[in-house]
Chain A
Amino acid sequence: MSEVLALTGNEAVAWGVRLSRVEVVAAYPITPQTVIVEKLSEWVEGGELDAEYIRVESEHSAMSAVIGASAAGARAFTATSSHGLFYMYEMVAFAAGARVPVVMGVVNRFVGPPWNIWADWMDALATRDLGWIQIWVSNNQEALDSIIQAYRIAEDKHVLLPVMVMLEGFVLSHTSAPVRVPDQKDVDEFLPSYNPPHYVLNPEISKTFGFGNIVWPWDTVHLRWDMHKAMLSAKGVIRRVVREYEERFGVNHGGLIKEYKVDDAEVVIVSMASIAETAEIVVDELRKEGLKVGALKIRFFRPFPTKEVIKALKDKYRVVVVERDISLGHDGVLAMELRSVLHRYDLQIPVYSISLGLGGDEILPRQIKKVVKEVM
């Protein structure tokens, strides 16, 4: 039987990991992610989670260890944030190239200096091009559900790419909310145990092979093309996994995107993460004033939901992107992504970019409302 518990975002992620029957956890502490790895350690030591727990000496080693564990056939998990994510950056790229379907919780936080432990998207966005699937969640329920979905997507034989599940520091990580924890039996049926279909570092079940030795440029091109194809195939897999998840658990946080009153809207607020929920409140308030506004959440930032975005935005008058990041010297990252997609389909819709809430600064509905009204 499923039950409803009051869980912080961190605890919700830990529950997702526990229900996914992860076999190897390797982790290193960093605020605001620490509760995830503390909770998992408590469960492993208490016997509630039957996993090996590697208390590594750095984030670089956390990612290295889960790569090794996954490559040897185990379902593996780690979590990090901010400086930790940057410290493991090399191995984050390696995980994708090694095609290991690991899942990582990333609790988004500003990268210093100065020391700032609050929410900012700059950490995860800097890993955009490394070959990881990225899910950005808006609430604690979605955090739990996304971890389970992430393993199904990552381990699909047409994908075999790692997945990051993003939740904003403190906004979600340290805020309690009611979360429905699914029944273990249902999760087991939804997510069968992991059996690597590509390679496994185990001489008892695999023939001799070498992985990762020198590859000529012309073969490298094929490897990158395979990764790109896997990323594109992931879109179909994500749609299917989300549908099956809804059928079994009755929850839908959106597929690649989530639309809110977009159909008849003239202006659409596009965002990700917790801002996407703020945007829905803004939409309701503006609609009361008679303005036709909708909200679109990018749930999967990679692979980018090109088809869905075009379908949702093609006849719109204006797009306002609200994001907790800035590509210094240019513009908001999400806004740039949207423009590139619209331009490719020859749609001349102005995209306005607002960078708000950097380093955990408050994001107020009235700030977003003001911009929407100005562009209408």
Chain B
Amino acid sequence: MSLREIVSKPDLLLPGHSACPGCPSAIALRMALKALGEKTVLVIPASCSSVYQGIYPGESFNVIVYNVAFASAAAVASGIRRALTKKGYTDVNVVVWGGDGGLVDIGMATMSGAAERGEDLIAICYDNEAYMNTGIQRSGATPPGAWTTTTWTGKTEIKKPMPFIMLEHGARYVATASVGYPIDIYNKVKKAASLRGEGFRYIHILAPDPPGWRFDASLTVELGKLAVNTGFWPLWEAEVINGKIKFRLNPPSNKLLDPSKRVPIEKFIEKQGRFRVAKEFHLRKLHQQMDFYWQLVKAYLSISKD
């Protein structure tokens, strides 16, 4: 579907929300809601999304929204799903929409539990690589070398490979996406929604964040593209059908298995203030992270060939 066609669909993210200029979460949510449609319950853990939707009694997300405690989203959503199923309402999308703090860190146990139980949910993580809502603190999804307000000299550990972890739970559908590719976001959410009734579905969207990554608000989409084209964030999707993994790379990542085809990572780093503190060993670690992620990609690609 073309961007023009997607944009012409009804907007369920209403004007008047209070997201920052260039907010990647708002871009991703706008796409996701267009794909999900009105018959959707959004379950949102503490995050920027619970703030920028507006202040009570205002509400700029034009679907049913349940704002819940930080560590609880996938468990609350499980309860909602089961209640609706019990009452015969199977034609509703129950969707967890949270940041990396809420889903990759504090809510990880609920994500793991819901995925293991095969709950009929879609969970979408908009990953801005830190606790942006509370003022840019380090999360498990922060990459090495990044300045945050709890890693003033740069984070030293690699980013938790959350989408791979969810895939290893046997989730029905897992995909990565980037705010640099909004049509891809739409298609993946649409795909996830089409698998309603078949179990747990997870989409992890990399979300370049102007205030947290320290770049100009006009560059969100450009950073989202660079993250992919440098090989920092590979785009892929996987289905698990009867225990068989079908894993594939999506464009443009499918052309980037060979590192020489990738845009040099420096192009991605130099546009962001957060890497200004990065030393040599941080950058080595960042390369290790990329190697690690691509090793996982290759491993899953080779499994899928069988």
Q: Mark A240-271, 1 if CB is under 8 A from B, else 0.
A: 00000000000000000000000000000000
**Which chain B residues border A216 with CB–CB below 8 Å?**
55-56
In whole angstroms, what is the CA distance A138 to B85 when docked?
Answer: 37
Instruction: Tell me the smallest distance from the CB of A89 to a CB of chain B, in Å.
Output: 11
Establish whether residues B80 and A71, one from each chain, have CB atoms under 8 Å apart when the complex forms.
yes
Instruction: Tell me the smallest distance from the CB of B22 to a CB of chain A, in Å.
Output: 22
**Residue ID in chain A nearest B84 by CB atoms:** A72
**Residue ID in chain A nearest B93 by CB atoms:** A203
Most buried by A among B41, B72, B91: B72
In whole angstroms, what is the CA distance A76 to B38 when docked?
Answer: 26
Establish whether residues A61 and B41, one from each chain, have CB atoms under 8 Å apart when the complex forms.
no
Establish whether residues A72 and B79, one from each chain, have CB atoms under 8 Å apart when the complex forms.
yes
Establish whether residues A64 and B59, one from each chain, have CB atoms under 8 Å apart when the complex forms.
no
**Residue ID in chain B nearest A26 by CB atoms:** B79
**Residue ID in chain B nearest A50 by CB atoms:** B86
**Residue ID in chain B nearest A214 by CB atoms:** B55
Establish whether residues B79 and A209, one from each chain, have CB atoms under 8 Å apart when the complex forms.
no
In whole angstroms, what is the CA distance A12 to B91 when docked?
Answer: 37
Partner of B79, one of A76, A211, A212, A213: A76
Establish whether residues B71 and A209, one from each chain, have CB atoms under 8 Å apart when the complex forms.
no
Known: A202-B89, A214-B55. A91 touches B72 (CB 8 A): yes
**Residue ID in chain A nearest B79 by CB atoms:** A68
Most buried by A among B54, B79, B80: B79
Known: A61-B72, A201-B64, A215-B56. A68 touches B86 (CB 8 A): no
Q: From residue 58 to 82 of chain B, which have CB atoms closer than 8 A to chain A?
A: 58-59, 61-69, 71-72, 75-82
B284 interface hit (Cβ, 8 Å): no
**Residue ID in chain A nearest B38 by CB atoms:** A203
A52 interface hit (Cβ, 8 Å): yes
Q: Mark A54-70, 1 if CB is under 8 A from B, else 0.
A: 11111011101111111
Establish whether residues A64 and B82, one from each chain, have CB atoms under 8 Å apart when the complex forms.
no
Known: A54-B117, A64-B110, A214-B56. A76 touches B83 (CB 8 A): yes
In whole angstroms, what is the CA distance A206 to B87 when docked?
Answer: 14
Q: From residue 50 to 102 of chain A, which have CB atoms closer than 8 A to chain B?
A: 51-52, 54-58, 60-62, 64-74, 76, 90-91, 94
**Which chain A residues border B78 with CB–CB below 8 Å?**
26, 54, 56, 61, 64-65, 68
B50 interface hit (Cβ, 8 Å): yes
Most buried by A among B38, B40, B62, B82: B82
Establish whether residues A71 and B39, one from each chain, have CB atoms under 8 Å apart when the complex forms.
no
B203 interface hit (Cβ, 8 Å): no
Known: A23-B86, A24-B86, A54-B79. A204 touches B39 (CB 8 A): yes
In whole angstroms, what is the CA distance A210 to B62 when docked?
Answer: 8
B187 interface hit (Cβ, 8 Å): no
**Which chain A residues border B81 with CB–CB below 8 Å?**
68
Establish whether residues A203 and B69, one from each chain, have CB atoms under 8 Å apart when the complex forms.
no
Q: Mark B134-173, 1 if CB is under 8 A from A, else 0.
A: 0000000000000000000000000000000000000000
Instruction: Tell me the smallest distance from the CB of A67 to a CB of chain B, in Å.
Output: 6
Establish whether residues B67 and A210, one from each chain, have CB atoms under 8 Å apart when the complex forms.
yes
Partner of B80, one of A69, A94, A213: A69
Known: A68-B43, A201-B80, A203-B41. A73 touches B87 (CB 8 A): yes
Partner of B77, one of A52, A68, A211, A212: A68
Partner of A65, one of B76, B84, B87: B76
Establish whether residues B53 and A24, one from each chain, have CB atoms under 8 Å apart when the complex forms.
no
Partner of B83, one of A70, A94, A206, A213: A70
Establish whether residues B39 and A64, one from each chain, have CB atoms under 8 Å apart when the complex forms.
no
Establish whether residues B66 and A201, one from each chain, have CB atoms under 8 Å apart when the complex forms.
yes
In whole angstroms, what is the CA distance A201 to B80 when docked?
Answer: 7
**Which chain A residues border B16 with CB–CB below 8 Å?**
none
A346 interface hit (Cβ, 8 Å): no
B113 interface hit (Cβ, 8 Å): yes
**Which chain B residues border A65 with CB–CB below 8 Å?**
75-76, 78-79, 82
Establish whether residues B112 and A94, one from each chain, have CB atoms under 8 Å apart when the complex forms.
no
**Which chain A residues border B84 with CB–CB below 8 Å?**
72-73, 202
Known: A73-B87, A94-B68. A61 touches B53 (CB 8 A): no
Instruction: Tell me the smallest distance from the CB of B117 to a CB of chain A, in Å.
Output: 7
**Which chain B residues border A58 with CB–CB below 8 Å?**
109-110, 113
Closest 5 CB pairs of A and B: A68-B79, A57-B113, A212-B67, A61-B75, A64-B75
* A and B contact pairs by CB, cutoff 8 A, 15 listed: A24-B82, A60-B72, A61-B109, A67-B76, A68-B66, A68-B79, A68-B83, A91-B72, A94-B69, A202-B64, A202-B87, A212-B50, A214-B54, A215-B56, A216-B56
